[in-house]
């Protein structure tokens, strides 16, 4: 209750969704904080460093952060050689290298990219 006006009415008057009033901002993850700390340490030593060199220095750290299960997916279209020739589209989890979705087709048309089969 805000004075004599409840939250629902106040949101209607201000044209603000109620979900915005109750939203609690999440903090940064531990991994992101550690990565930001390392970036800041490198930058403080050499403020002229560019993003390419920074990326190279952080490659080990970012690889660890980006390879948790179900965090990064990769896709590929592959030609599978059989009698007629077949194309396959695959989506894999980068961490486990497990195929999550796939589609096989004789032609490389749009149908094969929108019709998925779960593995």
> Is the domain of 82 the same as that of 108?
yes
The answer to whether the beta carbons of residues 116 and 103 sit under 8 Å apart is yes
With respect to residue 91, please indicate whether it lies within any of the assigned structural domains. yes
pTM here is 0.39
Q: What is the mean pLDDT of residues 79-97?
A: 77
The whole-angstrom separation of Cα 29 and Cα 81 is 45
Q: Whole-number mean pLDDT of the chain?
A: 78
**pLDDT higher than threshold 70 for residue 97:** yes
With respect to residue 20, please indicate whether it lies within any of the assigned structural domains. no
Number of C-beta neighbours around residue 49 at 10 A: 14
Which domain range does residue 88 map to?
A: 73-118
Q: What is the total count of domains within the chain? A: 2
**Taking the CA atoms of the chain, what radius of gyration do you get in angstroms?**
24
Residue-wise pLDDT tens digits, 12-30: 888 988 888 888 878 888 8
The angle formed by the CA atoms of residues 102, 106 and 107, to the nearest 5 degrees, is: 95
């Amino acid at each position: 209750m805000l004075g004599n006006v409840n939250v629902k009415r106040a949101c209607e008057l201000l044209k603000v969704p109620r979900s915005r009033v109750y939203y609690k901002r999440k903090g940064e993850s531990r991994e992101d904080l550690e990565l930001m700390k390392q970036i800041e340490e490198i930058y403080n030593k050499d403020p002229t460093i560019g993003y390419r060199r920074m990326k190279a220095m952080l490659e080990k750290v970012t690889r660890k952060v980006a390879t948790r299960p179900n965090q990064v997916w990769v896709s590929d279209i592959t030609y599978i050689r059989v009698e007629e020739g077949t194309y396959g589209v695959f989506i894999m989890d980068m961490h486990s290298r497990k195929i999550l979705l796939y589609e096989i087709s004789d032609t490389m048309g749009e149908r094969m990219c929108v019709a998925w089969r779960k593995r």
